[in-house]
Amino acid sequence: MAGFALAACSTDSPSVLSPEGESARRIDRLWWLMLWISLAVLAVVLGLMVAAILRRGRRDVEVDRTTPPWGDPFIVIAGVAVPALILIAVFVVSLRDLDAITEQGDAALTIDVVGHVWWWEVRYPGGAVTANEIHIPTGETVRFRLTSDDVIHSFWVPELAPKVDMIDGRTNVLDVRTDVPGTYRGQCAEFCGLQHANMAFHVIAESRDEFDAWLQNAAEPAESNTETASGLDVFLSSSCVGCHTIRGTDATGTLGPDLTHMASRLTLAAGTIPNSREDLARWIEDPQSIKPGNVMPPTELSEADLVALLDYLETLD
């Protein structure tokens, strides 16, 4: 059982046992309650097993045809009554938690998240659109409206909240509140096909001021810049433009993520690789070797065009 204690201390993991959100804290408490009860039950069972083993006999022992007088009362008490009482208690506690997690009053902010194979589209009120990265303010209840554009995905940030499925034709709601600034890893939890394993995202919780500044910037169109105009031309004249939007330019594709502020994001390809210049170049030239089966085709560019494109994309912050 020391393993569980150790596990809880592992800070790198997106762990259910290192809760930083209100809902996750409740779940964590519920887990420890149930774990201690379970360990007690396991101890009783193992104790009785050991007792039976200690008084073992040999194969030729005469069969005992008597009925122990304590047999039936023991089964009724240990096997029916006590479990029933414990289970009713846990049921009541869990219902209260369910209620608290579901009903969190008015939300300060509503964010729409749409699941795609295999990335996350994130839409804010006021027109900001981003992908695979969700900024939220701390100390406020944030309401996520979750749906899917294709197969079923599931929205799971273990440190903040329970998971909720994203289903085409339905909109599910998840309220999240955390008081602790930080970056929390999330990942799709419902099998969604070939690249289900590479469909992660990050939630960045920051103070209201920092969040407002971020949101204001995120809602702006991309800045035009004469130094990188040739890179934009490469973008607009290659296959990129068919699928991606860069607000403030002629690129209005909707199959892939909005790239208006892509340089500010932590990762590429939904958490698959870091957002560095080298990785971005690899991703543009040969996305299929990095995330086989994803929708993005390889793009063949001359060395000069690639440099210009990368220079331009790096300004989109």
Partner 1 sequence: MASYAERLELVWHEGTGLSAWAGTVDHKRIGLRYLYTGFVFFVLAGLEATLMRVQLAAPTLEVLSPQTYNELFSMHGVTMMFLVATPILSGFGNYFVPLMIGARDMAFPRLNAFGYWVFLAAGVFLNSAFLVGQAPDDGWFNYLPLASEQFTPTLAIDFYALGLIFIGISTTAGAINFIVTILKLRAPGMTLNRIPIFVWGELAFALTVVFALPVLTVANVFLELERKFGFHFYDADGGGDPVLWQHLFWFFGHPEVYLIVLPALGLVSSIIPTFSRRPMVGYTYIVLAELFIFVISFGVWVHHMFAVGLPTIALGIISAASFMVVIPSGTQIFAWLATMVSGRLVLSTAMHFVLGFLVLFVIGGLSGAMFSAVPFDQATTDSYFVVAHFHYVLAGGAMFPMFAGLYYWGPKMLGHLLDERLGKISFWLMFLGFNVTFFPMHIVGLLGQPRRTYTYASGLGWDLHNLLSTIGVFVLGAGILVTFWNWFWSRAHGEPAGEDPWSGDTLEWTTTSPPPEYNFTTIPTVRSREPAWDQPELQGGAQPPEDGGRPLTDGHTTLATTLADAEPQAIVHMPHASPWPLFLTLALMLAFYGVLLSSWMVAAVGAVASAGTLMGWLWPRGETQET
Could you tell me the two tokens for 197?
């394993």
Return the number of the residue (9 or 213) whose C-beta is nearest partner 1.
9
Task: Return the residues of window 64-83 that contact partner 1 according to CB under 8 A.
Answer: 64-68, 70-72, 74-76, 78-80, 83
Task: Return the residues of window 178-217 that contact partner 1 according to CB under 8 A.
Answer: 185, 187-198, 200
Least distance (Å) between residue 147 CB and partner 1: 10
Task: Return the residues of window 27-56 that contact partner 1 according to CB under 8 A.
Answer: 27, 30-31, 34, 38, 41-42, 45-46, 48-49, 51-53, 55-56
Least distance (Å) between residue 56 CB and partner 1: 4
Cα 157 to Cα 176, 200, 310: the distances in Å are 10, 10, 31
| 195 close to 118: Cβ distance less than 8 angstroms | yes
Alpha-helical runs (H) found in 103-244? 208-219, 229-237, 240-243
| Nearest residue to 234 (alpha-carbon basis) of 316, 310, 309, 314 | 309
Task: Return the residues of window 297-316 that contact partner 1 according to CB under 8 A.
Answer: none
Least distance (Å) between residue 216 CB and partner 1: 32
Return the number of the residue (221 or 293) whose C-beta is nearest partner 1.
293
Say how many C-beta atoms besides its own lie within 10 A of residue 19's C-beta.
22
> Per CB under 8 A, does 127 bind partner 1?
no
Residues in contact with partner 1, counted by CB under 8 A, come to a total of 98
Taking each helix axis from N to C end, the angle separating 82-102 and 22-54, rounded to the nearest 10 degrees, works out to 160
In a 13 Å sphere around the CA of 122, the CA atoms on its Cβ side amount to: 27
Tell whether the torsion through CA atoms of 49, 55, 58 and 63 is positive or negative. negative
> Per CB under 8 A, does 105 bind partner 1?
no
Task: Return the residues of window 265-294 that contact partner 1 according to CB under 8 A.
Answer: 271, 292-293
Task: Return the residues of window 147-176 that contact partner 1 according to CB under 8 A.
Answer: 150-152, 154, 156, 158-159, 162-165, 167-170, 172-173
Whether omega before 118 lies within 30 degrees of 0, making that bond cis, reads yes
Least distance (Å) between residue 255 CB and partner 1: 16
Cα 26 to Cα 53, 271, 298, 308: the distances in Å are 40, 28, 46, 50
Least distance (Å) between residue 237 CB and partner 1: 32
Least distance (Å) between residue 8 CB and partner 1: 8
> Per CB under 8 A, does 243 bind partner 1?
no
Paired strand residues for 268: 273
Distance CA 299, CA 313 (A): 15
Determine which residue in the list 36, 87, 213, 317 makes contact with partner 1, applying CB under 8 A: 87
Return the number of the residue (161 or 310) whose C-beta is nearest partner 1.
161
> Per CB under 8 A, does 106 bind partner 1?
no
